[in-house]
Amino acid sequence: MYAIDLKGIKKVYKGGVEALKGISLKVQEGDFYALLGPNGAGKSTTIGIISSLVNKSAGQVTVFGFDLDNQLEQAKSQIGLVPQEFNFNQFEPPLQILVNQAGYYGIKRKEAYIRAEKYLKQLDLWEKRDEPARELSGGMKRRLMIARALMHEPRLLILDEPTAGVDIEVRRSMWEFLQKLNAQGVTIILTTHYLEEAEMLCRNIGIIDKGCLVEDTSMKSLLARLDSEIFILDVDPLTHLPSSKSFKITQSDENTLEIELSKQLSLNKVFEELTAQGVRVNSLRNKANRLEELFLELVEKGSINDK
Amino acid sequence: MINSNYAIALKSIWIKEINRFLRIWIQTLVPPAITMTLYFVIFGNLIGKRIGEMGGFDYMSFIVPGLIMMSVITNSYSNVASSFFSAKFQRNVEELLVAPVPNYIIIWGYIGGGVARGLMVGFIVTCVSLFFVDLQIFNIFVLLLSVLCTSILFSIGGLLNAIFARTFDDISIIPTFVLTPLTYLGGVFYSISLLPDFWQGVSHFNPVFYMINAFRYGFLGIADVSLVWSFSIIGLFIVVLYSIVALLLKKGIGTRS
């Protein structure tokens, strides 16, 4: 079954701005799906339409088989939404925010308090349960929104840039939490600007650019399209620029080389040739996130095609 | 019959709304008590003694129902207007919009909050008035029905205002330029029989006049127009405003993109 099935979704805002130009997209139940795109590409509009915060101009949306036009409430019950911006009452304490939210989904107060305790503890917010939400740190506010979205135990969790502005430690703990949720069967759709995050968490990926879906594939097949990778090598001070017929070498400074290596070649080849030329390699790292390169390539291709 | 999930959702909105105005009681419950005490002292005690009787009652007894009603109107309206607009402003209205809650539950949820505050303030002002006048009740049923209907009507009015509002100024313009004049000209401080015929006619276009009229009847047993007419007008306004609000929420005007 598809967690979401979008058919020909269009959105034209007042003033004629066409945010979505007929997007069709299917996300399988149980998937961990990344929705990427530059700012203003239409990601948040897509999420807004799925969660019924934005009225679509055309097209059809079904959530676990429930049509958004005819079975709105059943469709809404399946979704937990973590929006990009903090959208809870800043004056209410986390415990009340969660209990109220559960109530909107028809969960009795007694049960709501039990669930609120569970999720506040899982997300390290229990100690802050009675403090006004505005006094929480940025990371805590993000986690509070995740806890709130989980109160009715949705089958589909949509996260719009959930780790924006949080430190690495919190980000990693959130990743771990989301992976556990996904392992329990919750379908997750994630938008993020941290492409490393998408690469690490998601099995499938869609890229939206200028209101169109320019890519919808598995993470593996997308990454397999990269035919070369760039590595940065920290080396002992260079006396001469080494050369190679197998790979491209550029010197960044006296201690740094950049190697562009075809996927057909192994790193052993690099070490062999450099060692033969008297270059000692002290450490090595990827120049950029691989997905980031592809993402830029796809988006730039779209821009060129537009011109 | 209401779906049990909806009943829980409705109760949740009520609890949230009531907690909201109780949490800031110093801003919501105390000011009406102080303002009305001043009205009672200045208009009732000091000036009222010189005015003498109105409608067969001493002036203080005459204005008490109007002043209680004025507090109920203002507080029901401003509770819903500020709460719903604040929810829009902070975007936490989205908590309700993404949930499987039908629009009529959202509307009655906010009305419930407005009515709760309106009636609570009305009760406080009534208690304050007991220090100044021996309050009599002519018809408790008419009194309670009129205050309840008025509170519902102005709660819907506050919601309508908040749906359209884009800034905090927008939720203070209507109370200042529409609500306050309508209330003052609705017969709080005088019987409209004192007015020239033309202005009496104009007063009949003021919905607040009918509310104060019915409420005063509940206390004193006197009325400028019949109760059936008064309740029909109030009912009509409730139906019209409710329909507009329901339509706006359905279309997402002021709430969805």
Cα angle B196, B197, B199 (rounded to 5 degrees) comes to: 70
The reply to whether A46 touches chain B by the CB within 8 Å rule is no
Q: What is the pLDDT along chain A (307 residues), one digit of tens a residue?
A: 899 999 999 999 888 889 999 999 999 999 999 998 888 889 999 999 999 999 999 999 999 999 999 999 999 999 999 998 899 999 999 999 999 999 999 999 999 999 999 999 999 999 999 999 999 998 899 999 999 999 999 999 999 988 877 788 888 888 899 999 999 999 999 998 777 788 888 999 998 988 999 888 888 887 777 667 788 889 888 888 888 888 888 888 888 888 888 877 888 888 888 888 988 999 888 776 666 666 767 766 655 454 4
Chain-chain contact of B8 with A55 (C-beta, under 8 angstroms):
no
Mutate to test the interface with A, among B2, B11, B12, B82 (most CBs of A within 10 A): B12
Q: Do B16 and A96 touch (CB under 8 A)?
A: yes
List of E strands, A15-130: 18-28, 32-36, 58-63, 66-67, 79-82
Of A53, A105, A107, the CB nearest to B257: A53
Which member of A79, A100, A103 has the closest CB to residue B98?
A: A79
A53: nearest CB among B9, B97, B100: B97
- C-alpha span between B26 and B122 (Å, rounded): 16
Q: Is B135 exposed, middle or buried (0-12, 13-18, 19+ CB in 10 A)?
A: middle
Smallest Cα–Cα separation from A20: which of A56, A65, A60, A63?
Answer: A56
Does any CB of chain B come closer than 8 Å to the CB of residue A62?
Answer: no
Residues of chain B scoring pLDDT < 70:
1-2
Integer Cα distance of A57 and A59 in angstroms: 7
User: What was the ipTM of the complex prediction?
Assistant: 0.87
Of B23, B91, B98, the CB nearest to A76: B98
Cα(A279)–Cα(A240) distance, integer angstroms:
9
pLDDT per residue over A206-249, tens digit each?
989 889 998 888 888 877 776 677 888 898 888 888 888 888 88
Enumerate the residues of chain A whose CB falls inside 8 A of the CB of residue B15. Answer: 100, 103
Is A89's CB within 8 Å of B87's CB? Answer: yes
Domain for residue B215, yes or no? yes
Asked, for residue B157, whether it belongs to a domain, the answer is yes
A120-to-A77, A84, A124 alpha-carbon distances in Å: 21, 20, 6
Distance, CA of B67 to CA of B78 (rounded, Å) = 16
pTM for the full model?
A: 0.84
Which residues make Cβ contacts (< 8 Å) with residue A76, sequence separation at least 6?
A51, A52, B98, B99, B100
Contact B99 A101 (CB under 8 A): yes
Q: Count other C-beta atoms under 10 Å from residue B82's C-beta.
A: 23
Facing residue for B256 by CB, picked from A53, A101, A103 = A53
CB contact under 8 A, A55 and B252: yes
> Is B256 part of any domain?
no
- What SS3 state is found at B43? helix
Residue in the structure block whose two tokens are 């690099």: A270
Where in the sequence is the domain holding B59, given as residue range(s)?
4-251
Strands A204-209 and A212-218: antiparallel
pLDDT at site B78: 94
Residue B11: count of CB within 10 angstroms of its CB: 15
Residues in A touching B87 (Cβ below 8 Å): 89
DSSP letters of B159-203?
HHHHHH--STTHHHHHIIIIIHHHHHTTTSSS-GGGS-HHHHHHH
Q: Are A228 and A263 in contact (CB under 8 A)?
A: yes
Which structural domains are found in chain A, ordered by start? 2-223 (3.40.50.300), 227-291 (3.30.70.1560)
User: How distant is the Cα of A202 from the closest Cα of chain B, in angstroms?
Assistant: 25
Give the H/E segment covering residue A258: strand A256-262
The pairing of strands A187-191 and A156-160 is parallel
Please state whether A228 falls in left (phi above 0), alpha (psi between -120 and 50) or beta. beta
Task: Please indicate whether, in this complex, the C-beta atoms of B91 and A85 are within 8 angstroms of each other.
Answer: yes
Residue A180, SS3 per DSSP: helix
What digits encode the pLDDT tens for the residues A178-198? 999 999 999 999 998 777 788
Report the residue from B4, B12, B257 with minimal CB separation from A48: B257
**H-helix segments, chain B:** 4-23, 25-28, 30-39, 48-51, 59-89, 93-97, 103-129, 140-164, 170-174, 180-184, 197-203, 207-220, 227-251
Alpha-carbon separation of residue B129 from A15, A47, A267, B30, B32 (angstroms): 55, 54, 90, 14, 12
Closest Cβ–Cβ partner in B91, B98, B252 for A51: B98
B57 within 8 A of B135, measured Cβ to Cβ = no
For residue B5, the chain A residues in CB contact (below 8 A) are 105-106
Instruction: Look at B257 and A54 and tell me if their CB atoms are within 8 Å.
Output: yes
Contact B9 A104 (CB under 8 A): yes
**Beta-bridge mates of residue A249:** A259
The percent of residues above 70 in pLDDT, for chain B, comes to 99
> What distance in Å separates residue A86's CA from the closest CA in chain B?
8
pLDDT for B96: 93
Cα angle B94, B97, B98 (rounded to 5 degrees) comes to 90
Query: How many beta-carbon pairs under 8 angstroms link A with B?
Result: 87
Residue B257 domain-assigned?
no
What part of A 214-233 touches B (C-beta under 8 Å)? none
Identify whether the C-beta of residue B193 lies closer than 8 Å to the C-beta of residue B111: no
Mutate to test the interface with B, among A78, A79, A104 (most CBs of B within 10 A): A104
Comparing C-alpha atoms, which of B62, B6, B76, B36 is closest to residue B192? B62
* Inside any domain, residue B205: yes
Q: How far is A52 from chain B (nearest CA, A)?
A: 6
User: For B86-143, how does the pLDDT look when each residue is reduced to its tens digit (9 = 90+)?
Assistant: 999 989 999 999 999 999 999 999 999 999 999 999 999 999 999 888 888 899 999 9
Distance separating the N- and C-terminal Cα atoms of chain A: 39
- The tokens describing A258, both together, are 């950049």
Measure the CA–CA gap between A173 and A167, rounded to whole angstroms. 10
- The structural domain count of chain B equals 1
Domain membership of residue B136 (yes or no) is yes
CA distance B139 to B221: 7
Query: Cα A174–A48–A121 angle (5° rounding)?
Result: 25
A115 touches chain B (CB under 8 A): no
pLDDT of residue B132: 87
Q: Distance (Å, rounded) from C-alpha B48 to C-alpha B62? A: 10
